[in-house]
Structure 1
């Protein structure tokens, strides 16, 4: 249920909630160099970001953003400005990979508060045949209680490598990266205590970066190094239901291509 995003402590405190991308391509300095050039002041986040630590060239994944426009309209305007044709052609898209980093960077420009969900992009899909400690598939994002919420990347096993068969969804792995900076962003001790209670923790120091986050094999779209968690029956049925739905739609599309009549009403869509 996407409404769970409105219960996220970071969103409730700041009015904006973003998701981390995967941790990929260490040693990239263009992002933090750009921020240091354009921002005379910045929040507590950029200095502890993966950009600043040079462990990833990706910070935000913009497939889902949550913004209370009545509270954070100015921050959103900063993001919109960075995506204007002039700005994106000359600057933004030459530094960033598309629009995704322009959300939190736009907020930094306006000095508006924002929060990230605590975990980095993980993976949902199937076990790697030659390594049961590795899960391969699409990019997964968790809610503030560490539960699978949504994924990005479609249904194919590895579309970037041309492996265009549908996944058999059965497992997931978190991308790691529990962040202590959430408390600095929210500046709300009561809300932080509620979040810690939800997670069964006693101190915000327990939210610090784990000693070693799981590592991506980008070419294979696989993640290894974290706990491999089986999907519940309900989660697996839901995820694989999209595969079954896709198969039906593809079959109908092939019929249309052969000039055959297709009646969508013949399908029992609720039970596919």
Structure 2
């Protein structure tokens, strides 16, 4: 699924690359930039965490003429008189004005490096609102953002991932040049697809998927994680033996009548007792007034 995402992001798509301190997702972000440039797309990058030289330095061999870097790394908070781009400018109007400064035949791809830097100074609700407006506004074709999950609360990460059409969570692999990508992709119909792949990135930023992570072998169970039996130390037995189970099946319950018992109760047999009542003369029972004999 990772090569499929690199081949092109659907219009209105939002890809979130999640990383942590153990493995950086920036090189995979550069692979997405390189793949978009190789498809003759225009890419706008808002860079908060690395300089333009560091970002473009890893894009050797790609057509960087269509790459527009907006420097938010030098002065992200606007402390100088003429900042290039500040974190407070991350809203629909400012970003739309930024990408429309270059005359383009079609909407470009917007790359944000990184969303974590913005979330440190802007509320998560405002960031999600801006991302949703950018997706639907038409000024950009798609949005790709890097997110450092270990810097935020779980609710913040969950909100951004719920908004995204694809989430790629990267982690270190078993070997030095390998990494594991857990991918969640949501189609327009609402179908959710999950995948997990082992990959590595070449010097030219091409992503090579080596295998599915599920094919790496079965995890050996940890002896310390064995499930404990809660009935092991009880002073009484909760289980039945085979003999006790058979005796239980043969036991007649007190309120369950057999066919013979039902027949005996419903039909009288010779010698059974009956109560006969014959009214005498003092029994003046009036059908019209059953209470006539009462002194009321």
Normalised by the length of structure 2, the TM-score is 0.29
Whose helix proportion is higher, 1 or 2?
Answer: 1
Question: Which of 1 and 2 has greater Rg?
Answer: 2
Q: Normalization by structure 1: what TM-score?
A: 0.31
